[in-house]
Amino acid sequence: MELQRLLSLTRKAVDDYQMIQSGDKIAVGISGGKDSLTMLYALSGLKRFYPQSFDIHAISVDLGFPEGKDGLKPVQALCDSLGVLFTIVPSNIAEVVFDIRKESNPCSLCAKLRTGAFNTAAKDLGCNKIAYAHHKNDLIETMLMSLIYEGRFFCFSPVTYLDRMDMTVIRPIMYVEEADVIGFKNKYQLPVFHNPCPADGYTRRQYAKELVARLNKENPGCSERMFTAILEGKIPGWPEKR
């Protein structure tokens, strides 16, 4: 995928759900994966020509794995080349989850601690919005998991206000397909690094991803129709599309 295509889809999402207003300072969550680095590129590019003036600040939470610090060095170099400030938040989350708590199912606690550290850092840096790199396939998979495991039609909103933090979460690459993210990563040689977490592996989301792929293969266009159902489903908490 070309950068111009990425910027076009990002602007459409931002415009459709009024994600960005003039004066916003947006914390861009960087995990080191392909999705967050693609979103960094998208918001950095959008910033140059979007009619509403805004700033971005990339933030990554170092979980405390030895491999994590070295993996973030190329991310720092990318941020420097894009002219984006980059903050690494140190933490002992890995020690808490695996050594102290010895969690048998560590993902939930890890995500909670990581989100808390990220949100606190964003607030301390003066950000009023947080950008998460959920793409089109993430929305479809989340909806499917909600149906299968919760018995309800649900998906996280493009824009969510966190009243306890007085901050707003936005998802600006929600119209971008994962295949295009992969293509963008390869074309622009994004510095993706492997997740060092020992629990990284097969999850319910991976199951949902494979299920969507199978359904779409057997019923061409199925995933696109599911995405349309999400956009038009009047899900509670979703803002009106402009």
Averaged over 73-96, what is the pLDDT?
88
Distance separating alpha carbons of residues 133 and 6, to the nearest angstrom: 13
* Residue 44 and residue 83 in contact, taking contact as beta carbons nearer than 8 Å: yes
The answer, yes or no, to whether residue 202 has pLDDT greater than 60, is no
pLDDT score at 115:
87
Q: Which candidate, 58, 62, 61, 60, places its Cα nearest to that of 41?
A: 58
* Residue 62 and residue 88 in contact, taking contact as beta carbons nearer than 8 Å: yes
Averaged over 72-101, what is the pLDDT?
85
Query: By mean pLDDT, which of 37-46, 110-119, 123-132, 183-192 is the weakest?
Result: 110-119
Collect all residues with Cβ–Cβ distance below 8 Å to 154 and sequence separation of at least 6: 142, 143, 146, 235, 236
Q: Which candidate, 222, 241, 223, 242, places its Cα nearest to that of 231?
A: 241
Q: Which two tokens stand for residue 120?
A: 């606190």
pLDDT score at 109:
75
pLDDT score at 171:
98
CATH of 3-231, one of 3.30.565.10, 3.40.50.620, 3.40.50.2300, 3.30.70.660: 3.40.50.620
Averaged over 86-103, what is the pLDDT?
76
pLDDT score at 195:
63
Q: What is the rounded average pLDDT for all residues in the chain?
A: 90
Q: Which two tokens stand for residue 65?
A: 């794995």
pLDDT score at 200:
59
Residue 90's pLDDT band, with cuts at 50, 70 and 90, is confident
